[in-house]
Amino acid sequence: MSIRRKTPADVARALSARSHEFARAKQTDSGAWRRETFTMPRPESRDKAREFFSRFPKAAYMTEVEHWRELSDGRIEFTMRRLPTAD
Residue spans per domain, the chain: 34-87
Q: Which CATH number does 34-87 carry?
A: 3.30.30
What average pLDDT does range 63-85 have in this prediction? 93
Buried b / exposed e along 61-86 (16+ C-beta atoms within 10 A): bebeeeeeeeeeeeebebebbbeeee
What are 35-70's pLDDT values in tens digits? 999 999 999 999 999 999 999 999 889 999 999 999
Instruction: Give pLDDT tens digits for 14-43.
Output: 888 887 776 666 555 556 889 999 999 999
pLDDT-derived band at 11 (thresholds 50, 70, 90) equals confident
